[in-house]
Amino acid sequence: MPSYEPVVALLRGMEVLRTVNRLSQASVSDIHRLTGLNQPTIVRMLETLIHAGYVMRDPRMPVYLPTGRTLELSAGYMLHREVGIAATPVMTRLRAKVGWPSDVAVFDGDAMVVAHTSRGEGRFMFERRTGFRAPVLATSLGRAFLAFCARPERERALLLAARSPEPWNALARDPTAADAAFTAIRAAGYAAMDDAYAAREYGGLASAVAVPVLIGGVAAASLNLMYLRDAIERGTVVERLLPVLQEAAAELGTAVAGLGQG
């Protein structure tokens, strides 16, 4: 148990900073919509963050931007880098076997952070960079992770997603539907990308399926397989390629479990 009650003002300030950092540029209304904090509190937190050097106000329009100082906050964060290094040979072999690229991602509160991608190892029209934050309920990566992660992590992720208006986050506001969806994913052994997200990000041309990277039966990361919808149907991907993807995830799980053990 913690020795003291949490400092509420600090928690609110961190939530505002995370929102500005997530959006790259954010108005007070944007922050209110995503955090639920009242606008006077948001302005006070923004002014404090400006004073501390983590946020700046755009002189041309009423939006706030993160400064380079925010990079200091992630200087000690190594998990996604370590997972990316461990995943690289596994994903290179996977791409050679199936011909389609993959991403591996780790959970970071309200998103999956891409630790490594094999999209650049061959011809694929949709690039994605390491460090990209994939929304948890829109992507196969996020859905696969949430279905197999510890319940407290899933509940916190759904609480954050429920505040966001994107159509795929409606699931977070319906606990019964969410439980049913994650039960179905566990039964199937994989998750699929949300169709509305595929339409927005890829013009409906590409999609993905993903499986969890498990340690002791609990998700530590997730691994997807991207594909072009006019080249192969999801049913064929599941029938022919899902076992290979699951084998790669199991191999990666063994590698990830050994991180930090010397």
- pLDDT beneath 50, residues of the chain: 1, 76, 260-262
Residue 66 sits in the same domain as residue 25: yes
Give the pTM: 0.72
In-domain check, residue 3: no
- Which domain does 14 fall in, by range? 8-74
Residue 91 sits in the same domain as residue 67: no
Residue 62 sits in the same domain as residue 108: no
**So what's the pLDDT on residue 21?**
83
**So what's the pLDDT on residue 22?**
77
Q: Is the sign of the CA dihedral 118, 120, 126, 128 positive or negative?
A: positive
Amino acid at 161: A
- Point out the domain boundary residue: 59, 74, 89: 74
Inter-residue contact 106 to 113 (CB < 8 Å):
yes
**So what's the pLDDT on residue 18?**
86
Please give the Cα distance from 195 to 9 (Å, whole number).
39
In-domain check, residue 47: yes
**Cα within 13 Å of Cα(212), Cβ side:** 23
Residue 34 sits in the same domain as residue 97: no
Q: Which residues contact 31 (CB under 8 A, 6 or more apart)?
A: 16, 19, 20, 37, 42, 46, 64
**So what's the pLDDT on residue 177?**
95
Of 58, 68, 70, 69, whose CA–CA distance to 25 is shortest? 58
**So what's the pLDDT on residue 3?**
61
**So what's the pLDDT on residue 248?**
96
